[in-house]
Structure 1
């Protein structure tokens, strides 16, 4: 009995002494990232594979999405040791991408967007249905370009099929608002 008590006391003493060891951890950086994304470096450009909160969030308004989820000042702080004059950042999703150029101070310069097989605006869908009865849309592409966060040029390339016939339409978004559709 005496040996049993001594063994139990020794086991407890060993457990307590083992629990008192200090483990030193490395410094951890904590930051706010409302959007999880994967960063890939390609030469002097960086690509972010975005993860949307809901389907279509990114392609609905890519510039607003970028402004909401991307902090250029934090990004510049992270890559300041590279001493770049400008930064080309590409935001990519399954449907397409947004390329944005930032200067050394973090001001937005040229932007370009390219998205495929997106939901067309309601007015454009109605116009296509009205002007091309019997034709089915096979695929579409929206291409936009601009400066300083403002879109200057935007057009849609839409492929239609009717049985064995197919045709491609190129629609300027400004012309689509005026109900003018051009075809190729």
Structure 2
């Protein structure tokens, strides 16, 4: 029993020191529709529907999820529960703006929000990667106003660098 515990602890210690994923990551392995390149100093990990990314100061969190259009309501409810658990209260929303970028439909919605630390910014960006499955990429962005400003250039580079399959 003790050797197994030591082995488990050793594996956990080694895993904890391993760097988080950075660089180009595919969204998703099961249905590769796009590649997102994460800045070296940021961390990322694969999640069930895609990728979770955060800045080193944890002022910006991003999720890229590949979802079927019929799943949008359930994913939105899941996000609402997550933000509620994190103490985030949505205080207002902008109208959704739609645009076509490089032949793909994009829609942008920004929510004003607060949490225990003050104002928060939540953005939802839905991207149609034009794939046969009809799935869309939902990018969820959560940041403090300071993080939004600090990481604006890196975010722009990340968004502009999305490559579609």
Q: Same fold (TM over 0.5)?
A: no
- TM-score scaled by structure 2? 0.26
